[in-house]
Amino acid sequence: MRLEGIHHVTAITGDAWRNVDFYTRVLGLRMVAKTVNQDDPSVYHLFYADERGRAGAELTFFEYPGAAPGCAGAGMVHRIVSRVGSPEALDFWAERLAGEGIRATREGDRLRFEDFEGLGHELVVNATPDEPLAAEHPEIPAEHALQGLDGVRAYSDHPQQSAPLLERVLGAESDGDATWRLRGDRRGATISYDPPPAEPGRPSAGTVHHVAWGTTTDEHPRWHERLRDAGVQSTPTIDRHYFHSIYFREPSGVLFEIADDGPGFTVDVPLEELGSTVILPPHLEPYRDELEARLTPLPDPRAAWT
């Protein structure tokens, strides 16, 4: 079995309004789901992705209103890496981010910046044969749009302690320089480890909560068996309605999830309506009025589009 690269990356925000503005207006992603954190339904779970809401392009956020800024430390992801199509696309993003007052650093075919809460991002020129996963936006030419997730960078004092799980259990291949690549039939992505800062990590706004690796609905149950047989402590398989999840920590401390590719958000709303309304799994639907009363009212980012 091989994992299909990254399914999604989930982070934390303290300000849903600014979060929606940054990821839809500035970065040009499509809001594909406004739902709730199923483990804490009092808070949002916001999903941004490509035009079709596909795994491999999903950045997601739990909103804890007013959460203080956090910081990444050992055992935490500190940078999310996304793909673009060309060096000219990096030029476009450097200019666009500068126009928004966002400082970006260019190093060859890489562009690094942070969102308004300090969450680290990096854009790289796509060097894979994977299908680009892009969203439409009136201010962003199609050839310059973000094309999906390329990987994550985490902090670890001893990255080699993660190697046995990554290679023998998850099927990753070493890519050198404390980097491992997880690749399936359709997509791939990497996880890289950097030396951690001296300051301990503090999970809160602007930090990554977990990284989800993708698989198929057919193979997902077999991953639970594989983790169990390898002695990896994990949650049971959890039905999230939109996909299924298994959670566990890898030896360096990063929280991993294995998520499958079905049925997706169109199980609740048509493709053209993704992100326009709050969607809930069936077991939470009876509490809709109560839950929506607690959530920050958010507009449909595409409501004003002609």
pLDDT for 280-297, tens place per residue?
A: 999 999 999 999 999 989
6-294: what fold? Answer: 2,3-Dihydroxybiphenyl 1,2-Dioxygenase; domain 1 (3.10.180)
| SS3 label, residue 287 | helix
* Structure confidence at residue 144 as a pLDDT band (50, 70, 90): very high
Q: How confident is the model at residue 306 (pLDDT cuts 50, 70, 90)?
A: low
Any idea which residue has 């790289």 for tokens? 124
Confidence of residue 304 (pLDDT cuts 50, 70, 90): confident
N- to C-terminal Cα separation, the chain: 45
Question: Cβ(73)–Cβ(197) under 8 Å?
Answer: yes
Top pLDDT among 291 and 304 is at 291
3-state SS, residue 253: coil
Mean pLDDT value of segment 109-115: 97
* CA of residue 96 relative to chain centroid, distance: 22
Choose among 16, 5, 112, 134: nearest CA to 64. Answer: 16
- Where do the structural domains in the chain lie, given as residue ranges? 6-294
Per-residue pLDDT tens for 273-282? 999 999 999 9
**Which of 75-84, 142-151, 293-302 has the weakest average pLDDT?**
293-302
Task: Tell me how many degrees the CA angle 220-225-228 measures, rounded to the nearest 5.
Answer: 130
Element (H, E) at 58: strand 58-63
Work out the pLDDT band at 47, boundaries 50, 70, 90.
Answer: very high
